[in-house]
Structure 1
């Protein structure tokens, strides 16, 4: 969709507000602002953009009735949106996470939109240096004349670095150097071999003690009620039902400590089994009752009812499928 046809029927302010809300969703509520000085500068020095706009208008590239000047104004507004390294890195992480913001857990972009965006970033995100960047770094990225470089390592992480000195094509000199050093240390290049390239570090390959460390980390997060840490573990595909040596889960620990937010996250978002018993035969609800955590008790009782209803529905669906298969035989 081109800018002139974006949000049809909306005025300029509504279109801009929509984009700001969308970008804030990608940034997980981190800082997203607007620079009026940059906007005025873009309008005053945008002769090439005006020339391209009139050329496209001559070639009838705009939909009927589209206002080319209004489309350019909206484009200049989008070019004047500000982010920090922190908020930009969350946006990059959202793209790395398949369109789901790692801070809020909300889906902001569809999987197809992420694929298309990363394809564009990989092929033309670094101006005239895009081809060399794709060859040497092999990752989707987008640079800006402010000196920022937004880099996405699909399914792993997103980051943004900033260093104002630019090269002759408008990319951050140190930003590009950082990206090159990153892929020289880690096998993040799109065409690095993940099995046999032993000279590079592979953070995706589990070490021998990762199993015990993951249990310790998730248990400590549950003990301290750190929902942000629990969310990171869940998004990294960690098994949120894993048990310690006493067969206790993170839900047992969070329930015993009375961390309502952590219990709500583990039940509503992670859908963990509330009926898992520890070595003494206690469920998370038993722990909450034993330590007098009344709010947690209410949450777990309601979740147990929901969990049983979902299991019952799933069993009936499976039974129906078996009957259908039997009738075909």
Structure 2
């Protein structure tokens, strides 16, 4: 049987699409059959190199001694690469290199972490979609008082000052719901501003007063006083340092 690269790419894409041809949108294979075929491709599709390929690339593929490699990225796309020079195991040398470099750039490997693989790109998620989901997850954690989830967000390098379209931050929601531990975590460990304003001009302490969370109000007041004094001291030290460098006598 003869086939072109274009034809084999469509076959690969059909397998990636659960048995539905992406060109005609016709269902040509049962989902169960596609699952079984991909399982076989993943386990033995690359001859004696199948184990190494599963380790390095982690995707179902089928090699041919003509120099072709049919690669399937489930629910994403199908690829067919053709380059005749073969290695001793009968696989395309350039095809193998392409597959390894592909999963080195994108997190397509079966066991890549989709959330924290920061050194890889995820073309399956739009930039703004990712940002929107991050904000929703952060604000939900603050509103529900889940400090453990908020720690995970911080450790993943997330900006803890992110806000929704109304300008409400995680500190706003934690204060409004009376979650003192979350408020303390955001201020003490994340160094977020204590007085951000939403679109209506409300600050976290305003939210805490509105919903009657007096402990949160007291904590925010104490934090504001302490850090106002600290800021004043830092400003005074900066003025004195500048004056000493310029040899200008300070007023008594």
SS of equivalent to 1:150: strand
Superposed displacement of residue 198, structure 1:
0.8
Aligned pairs, how many?
130
CA distance in 1 between counterparts of 2:8 and 2:86 reads 19
Trace 1:273-288 onto structure 2 (pairs within 5 A): none
SS of equivalent to 1:83: coil
Q: 2:128 aligns with which of 208, 218, 239?
A: 208
Superposed displacement of residue 207, structure 1:
1.6
Give the structure 1 partner of residue 104 of structure 2.
184
Superposed displacement of residue 126, structure 1:
0.2
Q: 2:2 aligns with which of 82, 99, 103?
A: 82
Deviation per CA, 1:258-304, whole angstroms, max 9, x where unpaired?
A: xxxxxxxxxxxxxxxxxxxxxxxxxxxxxxxxxxxxxxxxxxxxxxx
CA distance in 1 between counterparts of 2:29 and 2:4 reads 21
Give the structure 2 partner of residue 151 of structure 1.
71
CA distance in 2 between counterparts of 1:102 and 1:186 reads 22
Q: 2:87 aligns with which of 125, 142, 167?
A: 167
Give the structure 1 partner of residue 51 of structure 2.
131
Deviation per CA, 1:157-186, whole angstroms, max 9, x where unpaired?
A: 001000000000100000000000000000
User: Against the structure 1 CA distance between its residues 168 and 110, is the aligned structure 2 distance closer, same or farther, given a 3 Å change threshold?
Assistant: same
- Ranges in structure 2 where 5+ consecutive residues have no aligned partner: 131-252
TM-score (norm. length: structure 2) = 0.51
Trace 1:1-329 onto structure 2 (pairs within 5 A): 81-208=1-128
CA distance in 1 between counterparts of 2:101 and 2:129 reads 28
SS of equivalent to 2:2: strand
Over 2 Å off, 4+ runs: none
Give the structure 2 partner of residue 309 of structure 1.
none
TM-score (norm. length: structure 1) = 0.39
CA distance in 2 between counterparts of 1:90 and 1:159 reads 8
CA distance in 1 between counterparts of 2:104 and 2:3 reads 28
CA distance in 2 between counterparts of 1:132 and 1:111 reads 27
CA distance in 1 between counterparts of 2:84 and 2:104 reads 23
Superposed displacement of residue 206, structure 1:
1.4
Superposed displacement of residue 209, structure 1:
8.0
Deviation per CA, 1:213-260, whole angstroms, max 9, x where unpaired?
A: xxxxxxxxxxxxxxxxxxxxxxxxxxxxxxxxxxxxxxxxxxxxxxxx
Structure number, greater radius of gyration: 2
CA distance in 2 between counterparts of 1:119 and 1:209 reads 31
CA distance in 1 between counterparts of 2:79 and 2:55 reads 20
User: What is the CA RMSD across the aligned residues, in angstroms?
Assistant: 1.2
CA distance in 2 between counterparts of 1:209 and 1:124 reads 37
SS of equivalent to 1:208: helix
CA distance in 2 between counterparts of 1:90 and 1:198 reads 31
